[in-house]
Amino acid sequence: MDKIKVGIIQHSSVHQNLKASVEKLTDLLAQAARQDIQMVVVGEGWLSGYPVWFDYIPEAALWNYPPTKKLYARFRENSVVIDGPEMKHIRALAKKYEMVLSLGMNERVEKGLGIGSVYNSLVLIDANGEIVNHHRKLVPTFTEKLVHAHGDAAGLKAENTKVGKVGGLICWEHWMPLNRQALHNDAEQIHVAMWPNVHEMHQVASRQYAFEGRCFVLAAGQMLKAKDLPSELTLPENLAANPEQYVLKGGSCIIAPDGRYIVAPVFDKEDIITAEINLEEMYYEKMTLDTSGHYYRPDIFSFSVNRKRHDF
């Protein structure tokens, strides 16, 4: 098999500004194309910003807190509509550069039920510009429940793309064992692991996933400085004293099917992190472990997935 050049965009978006974030992504994808990257990953909630403020500004989670309510309206307004103009523009870029793109976003709906809700979503765009998968995070984690709705399993699958069969999970979905099994059963070759920060335990989960699934893992982290936290909220003293410090520090890395690092975690740096991978390496490792084959016991365990899309 030919080698594939993959890349993770570890740059901050323009938080809570969809228009500016799309403009920045346009420039970053052009940079990736100039580096001949065939598959690009852009992290969790990148369009237009992971809601990290709950971790650093405790009053933001208070019941009926006016600044947070105002912020939520802006958060929703700067979320992405799947068939909206921003996604059409991004799909056109993927087609122009013949690039597979896995993109994290906050997603809103504009018609039907649930128009006030926002999903934590992952969209996979093939090199022809077509959306081949659209996954909504099944269970928002902890304070994410204040801004994100529950997703479904319509996108809990791996899909064929120009670079191989690609799947993905968002953050703590990696600790839901049946999620992992669903993607292993889909013969996933490249897995996208989206996180806010890829800190130590997120590294453990990402490396475990690669080892268990015998696949390549692109673990994507986020970047954000304290000064870029939402203007509706007041920074605590420790952040206000050093607004240039990162509160989201990245940690993106690329992991081989035996769990080793191809590219070790990169922290505190905005960059496009790249590597060449050879999909044949998967089969070196499947000799000893194939969790959907010779290490799978369907005669003992039954397994099914309800992949029906739900819209409230």
Catalytic residue among 86, 107, 137, 173: 137
Give pLDDT tens digits for 6-52.
999 999 999 999 999 999 999 999 999 999 999 999 999 999 999 99
Q: Which residues contact 13 (CB under 8 A, 6 or more apart)?
A: 21, 24, 25, 46, 47, 48, 49
Quick count: other Cβ atoms within 10 Å of Cβ 219? 30
pLDDT at 2: 76
Give pLDDT tens digits for 240-288.
999 999 999 999 999 999 999 999 999 999 999 999 999 999 999 999 9
171 is catalytic: yes
Where do runs of H (alpha helix) occur along 58-172?
Answer: 66-77, 85-97
Q: How far apart are CA 89 and CA 69, in angstroms?
A: 30
User: How many angstroms from the chain centroid is the CA of residue 139?
Assistant: 14
Give pLDDT tens digits for 204-223.
999 999 999 999 999 999 99
Whether residue 148 has pLDDT greater than 60: yes
Confidence (pTM): 0.97
Q: What is the CATH T-level fold of the domain 3-286, as seen in this structure?
A: Nitrilase/N-carbamoyl-D-aminoacid amidohydrolase (3.60.110)
Whether residue 310 has pLDDT greater than 90: no
Q: How far apart are CA 87 and CA 42, in angstroms?
A: 14
pLDDT at 113: 86
Q: How far apart are CA 179 and CA 186, in angstroms?
A: 11
- What's the whole-number mean pLDDT along residues 109-120? 92
Where do the structural domains in the chain lie, given as residue ranges?
3-286
Whether residue 1 has pLDDT greater than 60: no
165 is catalytic: no
Q: How far apart are CA 21 and CA 134, in angstroms?
A: 20
Catalytic residue among 86, 144, 171, 286: 171
pLDDT at 112: 85
Q: Give the dihedral sign, CA 162/163/167/172.
A: negative
